[in-house]
């Protein structure tokens, strides 16, 4: 038996040559998928416009995998054109519900998903471009706008992909559906009440601007730095370095304290000296601390140092001052420096810090009564 005769032998309705074409193309696709994907990625990079802020390597990292998925689907489609399902199975035609229709619809669905995936990655690419430009400006507004626009772009791609699937896979009259529902009806049909509230909250945050990215805020029980204002939620990094995600509807309904808008930060605390301290020592300590705070380069002239009250175990001096910076780092660094200087002033005047103590007096009872 020669090779040509062998290749023409039929098994399950297909010749060995047909199977060889199918598996050969599948093997070539697996071997060269990465190379082909990179080629189309580079071609797409040139089509969308090269940009120095995003390298070709970064673009490849975004697009190679979804393009590779699309390439493999194409190779499988071309290879499967040589394969027919056995006629002895008596399957329904492609136009009737059955295995052929399911395979055809499933393949079309996978194709649509691959293109949606590619366009989502392109949206991410343009998001990186916009973020790089935003990082070059001093305004916080564009830092807040970029993630918001990125999510809108992704949602638009999802919605378009959803309607393409309805039209191509389920054969729904998309035009009639869109006309009947309208934009508002589509939004209500595709989103829950809570999602709509969060969406409206994001628009309120964007236009009313109660805070921007980088501000330190307190929203309810959460305090931290705003890292991202998204389509549904706001991401806050606390001072413990954890990420807290707060729904946008809560950000606009709760009492919000924007600490980043404060021009200064206040520090207020009490120091207690022992009752062994004399009046002159107390006056000298108060005077020196007041002078030190007034002359400190990081404080303003609104500081107050006063001998306030006689505590249970100490003579209490109130210290209050304002750090001329909204920055948390400036605040804690200044407070540390002032605390060190207060300790030095107390030691300079031979005073001691008080701490709660108890003195017990024992009285002997007469053994005999006269």
Residue range 208-261, CATH number:
2.30.30.60
Phi, psi of 136 (to 5 degrees): -85, -5
By three-state DSSP, how is residue 223 classified? strand
pLDDT band at 90 (very low <50, low <70, confident <90, very high): low
The angle formed by the CA atoms of residues 159, 162 and 167, to the nearest 5 degrees, is 125
- Provide the CATH topology of domain 265-348: Alpha-Beta Plaits (3.30.70)
Stretch 256-285: mean pLDDT: 92
The winner for highest mean pLDDT among 43-52, 67-76, 287-296 is 287-296
pLDDT score of 41: 92
- The pair of structure tokens assigned to 52 is 């120095």
pLDDT score of 149: 85
Beta bridge partners of 280: none
pLDDT for 157-170, tens place per residue?
998 999 899 998 88
Stretch 303-309: mean pLDDT: 95
Lowest mean pLDDT among 60-64, 175-179, 247-251: 175-179
Q: How far is CA 188 from CA 157, 176, 182, in A?
A: 18, 17, 10
Higher pLDDT, 183 or 344: 344
Stretch 62-72: mean pLDDT: 93
pLDDT score of 12: 67
Cα–Cα nearest to 189, from 224, 218, 163, 220 = 163
pLDDT band at 366 (very low <50, low <70, confident <90, very high): low
pLDDT score of 68: 93
Global pTM? Answer: 0.61
pLDDT score of 70: 93
By three-state DSSP, how is residue 109 classified? helix
Segments making up each domain of the chain, as ranges: 3-199, 208-261, 265-348
Stretch 56-70: mean pLDDT: 92
Quote the mean pLDDT of the chain: 84
- The pair of structure tokens assigned to 136 is 């070059």
CA dihedral 78, 80, 83, 86 (to 10 degrees): -150
pLDDT score of 87: 64
Which DSSP symbol is given to 299? Answer: B
| 308-323 b/e (C-beta count within 10 Å ≥ 16 → b) | eeeeeebbbbebebbb
pLDDT score of 80: 79
* Long-range CB pairs of 227-233, under 8 A, 24+ apart, other chains included: 228/147, 229/144, 229/147, 229/148, 229/202, 229/205, 230/147, 230/148, 230/151, 230/202, 231/148, 231/151, 231/152, 231/155, 231/198, 231/199, 231/202, 232/195, 232/198, 232/199, 232/202, 233/198
Stretch 318-336: mean pLDDT: 92
Number of H helices, E strands in the chain: 10, 10
pLDDT for 10-40, tens place per residue?
676 677 777 788 888 888 888 888 999 999 9
For every residue of 23-60, DSSP letters joined together read HHHHHHHHHHHHHHHHHHHHHHHHHH--BTTB-HHHHH
pLDDT score of 228: 87
Which DSSP symbol is given to 133? Answer: H
pLDDT for 171-206, tens place per residue?
888 877 766 666 556 555 555 667 777 778 888 888
CB contact at 8 A, 145 and 206: yes
């Amino acid at each position: 038996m020669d090779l040509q005769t062998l290749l023409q032998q039929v098994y399950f309705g297909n010749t060995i040559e047909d199977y060889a074409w199918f598996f050969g193309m599948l093997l070539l696709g697996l071997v060269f998928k990465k190379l082909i994907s990179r080629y189309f990625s580079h071609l797409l990079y040139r089509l969308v416009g090269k940009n120095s802020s995003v390298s070709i390597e970064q673009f490849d990292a975004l697009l190679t995998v979804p393009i590779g998925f699309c390439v493999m689907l194409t190779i499988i489609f071309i290879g499967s054109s040589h394969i027919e399902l056995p006629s002895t199975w008596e399957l329904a035609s492609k136009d009737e519900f059955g295995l052929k229709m399911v395979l055809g619809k499933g393949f079309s669905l996978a194709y649509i998903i691959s293109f949606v995936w590619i366009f989502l990655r392109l949206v991410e690419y343009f998001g990186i471009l916009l973020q790089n430009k935003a990082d070059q400006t001093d305004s916080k507004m564009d830092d807040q706008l970029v993630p918001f626009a990125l999510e809108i772009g992704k949602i638009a791609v999802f919605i378009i992909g959803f309607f393409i699937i309805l039209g191509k896979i389920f054969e729904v009259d998309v035009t009639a559906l869109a006309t009947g529902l309208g934009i508002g009806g589509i939004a209500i049909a595709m989103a829950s009440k809570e999602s709509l509230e969060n969406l409206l909250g994001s628009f309120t945050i964007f236009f009313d601007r109660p805070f921007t990215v980088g501000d330190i805020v307190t929203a309810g029980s959460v305090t931290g730095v705003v890292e991202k204002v998204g389509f549904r939620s706001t991401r806050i990094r606390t001072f413990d370095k954890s990420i807290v995600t707060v729904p946008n509807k809560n950000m606009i309904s709760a009492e919000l304290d924007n600490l980043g808008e404060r021009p200064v930060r206040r520090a207020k605390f009490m120091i207690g000296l022992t009752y062994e301290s004399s009046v002159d020592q107390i006056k000298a300590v108060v005077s020196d601390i007041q002078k030190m705070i007034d002359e400190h380069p990081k404080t303003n002239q609104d500081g107050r140092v006063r001998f306030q009250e006689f505590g249970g175990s100490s003579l209490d001096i109130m210290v209050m001052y304002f750090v001329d910076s909204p920055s948390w780092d400036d605040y804690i660094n200044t407070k540390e420096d002032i605390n060190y200087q207060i300790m030095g002033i107390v030691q300079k005047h031979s005073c001691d810090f008080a701490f709660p103590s108890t003195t017990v007096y024992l009285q002997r009872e007469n053994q005999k009564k006269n």
